[in-house]
Structure formats: structure tokens, C-alpha cells
Amino acid sequence: MVRSPRFRPLVVPEKEELPCLEPDGVLGRMVSPFLACMRPEGDVELSQYLAGWRELLRFLTPLGSVFAFATSEAFIKVTDLEARVHGPDASHYTSLVTMATWERRAGLLERPGTEPRHPAGPSGSRTLLLLHRALLWSQLCLHRVATGTLGGPDAGTQCGDAYSTALAPHHPWLIRQAARLAILALPSRGRLLQLACPGTGEAGARIALARAARVLEDVYNRTQGLLAGHGLLQLA
């Protein structure tokens, strides 16, 4: 498995299961499909990956304007990929590997800086790459909120740093400025933890959010390795 140099392994205390991580819990609804998308043979199943993204968006959207520009773009990309997964070429969009293999063979993988040749727009592989980068931001933000020290940087600073690491290098100046302004409106760490684990104390909510972030990290690392192996990291 490829591990990004930006990551350090999460060390999460293993305690009894927390309600928000159960199948019908806020984080459990997100974690379950992301876990299911990682096939034993090393591939990523697209339908489950997108189901995980749907739940991630459901979680992030109420957090305020800091996520609005990212979640709206992610929603469009998830919808685009879902149309491929359930469309006339569905047999080629069951997993990341089948998609990349077919799109390359069909000549659908546009080069950086060129217009898409396919009338349907950018390739599914390029769309997935953009979602992949957004997943890194989400993972870093949630991880830092979960594991930040008491009295340390607030959630806005930590998620802002995550944005600078994961997405800012790929965004034009105007979007970077808008994002940094939106970060000022991010709820406090305590509020984020309450939204992640309603009715759970801070210590338990931190553990649950860190476990969820660990799953996102695993999905990111799996996807990163596959995208790199198929030469897709420079599509956008």
C-alpha cells in the first residue's frame, strides 16, 4: 500500500463501539461504504466509494460556508460518476481499475491542459482524481480536529492548514482567497465533535472521529496507489 509522505499513521485507542460509529450513526453511515469499497484484491469499487462520498457530503454540508465551495463541486463530481456507474457503459465503471483500463483503451484520458475529446466532458478518471484530492482535505481536517491538543490551534486553523496542503496547490488565486475567508466561519472544535458524535462526550467523539479519519486515510492511500500505477495523477 502506498502511503503519502504527508501522513503519519493514526494511533487510535481501541475502546467499545461508539453510537456514532454504528451502522445508523452519523460516522458509521459514512465509514461503512468506504470500508466496503476497498476490495480484497486491492481495487476500489466505485459504487461503494461514491456511496461513502454521499455520506461524507451529508456530514460536511451543515458545517458552514468553509465547506460550501468544496461540497458543491464534489456533489457535481459524485453525480457525474454515478451516471457512469449506472449508465450504458456501466460494465466498464465497476471499479477504479476497470474504469482506468477501459478509458485508456478507448482514448478518453485527456492530457493536462487540453479540452476533453469526449462529448460527455472530462473522463471518469479525471473526475475521480479531483474527488480524490478533496478526500485528502476532508481526511486531514477531520484527523486534525480529532487529535489536536487542548489549547492548540482551533478547528479553523487546522482545516485551513489541511486546505493549504491538499487543495490550494490545485486552485487559482481567487478560489484560494475565498476558501481562506470561509474558514473563518468554521464551527469550533467542540461543535464539530458534537455534530460528528451527538450525545457523546468529547473524549469519545475524538476517538470516533479519529477512527473515521483513519478509514478515509486508508481509502485515500489505496486510491493514490492505483491512480499512480495507472499514470493518472497528472490528469488535472
- The architecture in CATH of the region 19-109+119-229 reads Orthogonal Bundle (1.10)
pLDDT, one tens digit per residue, over 36-77 is 999 999 999 999 999 999 999 888 876 655 556 567 778 899
113 residue type, one letter: G
Task: Say if CB 203 and CB 214 are below 8 A apart.
Answer: no
Mean pLDDT of the chain: 80
Residue found under cell 482524481? 129
- C-alpha cell of residue 81: 460518476
Cα pseudo-dihedral 135, 141, 142, 145, rounded to 10: 180
pLDDT, tens digit, 9 for 90 and up, residues 162-194: 776 666 556 655 666 666 666 666 667 788 888
Run of H or E residues at 191: helix 189-196
- In angstroms, what CA-CA distances link 211 with 24, 31, 100, 204? 16, 9, 30, 11
Under DSSP, the state recorded for 38 is B
Residue 60's pLDDT is what? 80
Domain coordinates of the chain in residue numbers?
A: 19-109+119-229
Alpha-carbon span 46 to 160, nearest angstrom: 29
Determine the Cα–Cα distance for residues 26 and 170; give it in Å rounded to an integer: 30
pLDDT for the residue 192: 81
Distance CA 17, CA 115 (A): 48
Q: 111-145, pLDDT tens digit by residue?
A: 645 554 544 457 999 999 999 998 988 898 888 88
Asked if residue 81 lies in contact with residue 28, where contact means CB atoms within 8 angstroms, the answer is: no
